[in-house]
Amino acid sequence: MILGQDPYHDGSYDGFAFSNTGKLRLSPSLQNIFKEVESDVYDGFQLSQDSELERWAKQGVLLINTAHTVREREPASHLHLWGMFTFHVLKALMDRKHPIVWMLWGSKAKKHLENKALPKNHLRLTAAHPSPFSASAGFFGCKHFSKANEFLMNHYVESIIW
């Protein structure tokens, strides 16, 4: 499970956090995510030009934002509208007995679970947002992708092909 902040405010949001559709180029955040995948998991990984993350979702990765709408060119403009909805989605996941890896990227995502105890068979991973403004402050080198796969395998759950 990857929790982000809000959709891209340029209109390219496709329903999956950090994924974007209809763009001729990868968003800077997604480029940084793929760079981390490359350095963390796959030696020789080729930076994908595919801006959609549906392939991760099909493997069971929930890619969700803390807000699901945004005014064009106004980041975080609808965060206040989605708080209760996001809270209930996250609460439902916390109540699951199935092992879950929580990747919380950025301060808005971390805030949603900062004082919440997760079940023992869940793993919380936090890092800076993958945006070019903050990726070097703790996203690069976080190794969330290999840590997630190691945790899943240790709990007899199939790992993710990132």
Rounded Cα distance, 129 and 11, in Å: 20
Q: What angle do CA 99, 143, 129 make, to 5 degrees?
A: 95
Residue 123, C-beta contacts closer than 8 angstroms, at least 6 positions apart: 99, 100, 101, 102, 147, 148, 151
116-153 in b/e form (b: 16+ CB < 10 A) is: eeeeeebbebbbbbbbeebbeeebbebebbbebbebbe
**β 100-105/2-4 pair status:** parallel
User: For residue 101, how far is the Cα from the chain centroid?
Assistant: 11
CB 161 within 8 A of CB 57: no
The catalytic position among 6, 14, 40, 50 is: 6
CB atoms within 10 A of CB 44: 5
The question of whether 14 is a catalytic residue gets the answer no
Q: Which residues are catalytic?
A: 6
